[in-house]
Structure 1
Amino acid sequence: MDEALRLLQFGDSVFPVGAFSFSNGLEMAVQHGSVHDRATLQEYVRTVTRLAATGDGVALLAGHRAAAAGDLDRVRRADEAVHLRKINEEMRTMSVRMGRKLAEAATRIVGESLLRKRVGDTGAGVPVTYPVALGVLFAELGVGEEQAFAAHQYGAASMVLGAAIRLMRVDHLDAQSILFAVNEHVADDYQDARTATLDDMQGFAPHLDVLAGAHQHAHVRMFMS
């Protein structure tokens, strides 16, 4: 039961890491008309979660396994893999800011941990990133890697849907219906990610990269990404 409670607490979409400040690219997708109704929103959320699985999700699993082995250097390499693959400045900012907030909160709540050591290790030039920090934290709390992966995927979808309620004509029930449908893919995404290495991380979505680049230079923005 303790593991389930830890998963619920630190995987909660309202846990104070600043996720509400980001839309994961949805704001510009709505402005450009790429996302304009429930169907296109669901397609967008599924794209985001699939990219999360093949990219950040792989790093989360690497961080989880490194923490289980007590290997700080492997944790650092996972963070570096995430950071180097964030082509857009806003996405790098999102990953690093949320990672730092999670590490700071976990240090205050949990206390001494490998994650705390990793925070003190950032002088090496590699920032803490959110997916890796989440993987490390869950490993140290005794939460299994499959559950940690599921929490990460749930959070990626929730971030976009939370933004959608503020950006589009969708209500909370629409968002929950989409979340329910998208969550059906998590088990399959985990099976794909669990055997991947950091070298296998990928996130090919040129349309989203173009939208993210446009958002970076927009004069009026509700979200930071």
Structure 2
Amino acid sequence: MQALLATLWQSDSAFPSGGFAFSNGIEGAAALAGSLDKETLGTVLAFTLRHRWATADRHAMLHAFHADDIERLAIIDHTFETATLPEPLRVGSRRNGMAFLTAHARLDTPGAQDLRAAIAGGQCLGHLPVVQGWIWRRCGLDQNAAVAASAYTVTAAMVNAAVRLGLVGAIEAQRVLAGTFPLISDLAAMPFDLSADVAFPSATPWLDIAVTRHARSDLRLFSN
């Protein structure tokens, strides 16, 4: 029960992680497509989950979850930086990760201060999936719970951004969010080899273009 409650706690949008400032490409995608209805939003979410979260964010989070020291975490962090091509996503991931870590440092979560010191010293960068993996293990989440929390927070953040942008209504958004659960379950069951080389490939060129164009926009609600 405590592990379940910890998972709900870390997945809650009310947790002060700074995620409200990031749309993870939704604002740029809406601008590139002209708009997004609930069907198109569902397609973008599925595309993101399949080709970015499952292969990059999930793997980075899991490698960090199993990391036993900061030296290993630094390798994971810098590899994720190299694999994230669009600058707005790199910057957003680091900012979001630092906000998430700062909240846990203030909560005295074990390991949070050590990671903050490593980021301040330039050893680590603090990308969100990496920070999540490191912290969630120390919050009492098991691997399956961490994967579920990772997928849910990514998807919910994009859906909430769509609501704030006025692209879909609140009820439609919840229907779209719930519609991703079967896909998340399938992707979460994909094999993960801890002994394999650290690599985080993603293939979301359309979304990468949208995010890059969004960064040059004069008027925007979200940072990415």
TM-score (normalizing by structure 1): 0.91
Match of 1:119 in 2: 116
Deviation (angstroms), 1:35: 4.9
In structure 2, distance between residues paired with 1:92 and 1:115 = 21
Counterpart of 2:126? 128
Identity of aligned residues (%): 27
Task: Give the corresponding residue for 2:175.
Answer: 177
Q: Is the 8 A contact 1:64 1:145 kept in 2?
A: yes
Q: Is the 8 A contact 2:48 2:204 kept in 1?
A: no
Secondary structure of 1:165 counterpart: helix
Distance 1:53 1:187 in 2: 11
Residues 213 and 204 (structure 1), Cα distance of their counterparts in 2 relative to 1, 3 Å cut: same
Instruction: Establish whether residue 101 from structure 1 lines up as the match of residue 126 from structure 2.
Output: no
CA distance in 2, matches of 1:57, 1:213: 23
Aligned CA distance change for structure 1 residues 154 and 34 (closer, same or farther; 3 Å): farther
Q: How many residues are paired up? A: 221
Q: State whether structure 2 residue 63 is matched by structure 1 residue 59.
A: no
Structure 1 counterpart of 2:201: 202
**Residue 24 (structure 1) aligns with:** 24
Q: Is the 8 A contact 1:78 1:198 kept in 2?
A: no
CA distance in 2, matches of 1:130, 1:198: 20
- SS of 1:24's partner is coil
Alpha-carbon distance between aligned partners in 2 of 1:126 and 1:84, rounded to the nearest angstrom: 13
User: Partner residue of 1:37?
Assistant: 37
Q: Which amino acid aligns with 1:48?
A: T
Contact between 1:164 and 1:170, CA under 8 Å: does it hold in 2? yes
Q: Distance in 1 between the 2:192 and 2:38 partners? A: 31
Larger displacement relative to structure 2 (168-177 or 53-62)? 168-177
Give the Å deviation of 1:178.
0.9
State the Cα deviation string for residues 101-124 of structure 1 (Å, max 9, x = none): 11111111134x223212111213
Q: Distance in 1 between matches of 2:193 and 2:210?
A: 31
- Please state if 1:186 is matched with 2:187: no
What SS does the corresponding residue of 2:202 show, helix, strand or coil? Answer: coil
CA distance in 1, matches of 2:66, 2:179: 29
TM-score, structure 2 length as denominator?
Answer: 0.91
Q: Which runs of 5+ in 2 are unaligned?
A: none
Which runs of at least 4 in structure 1 moved beyond 4 Å after TM superposition? none
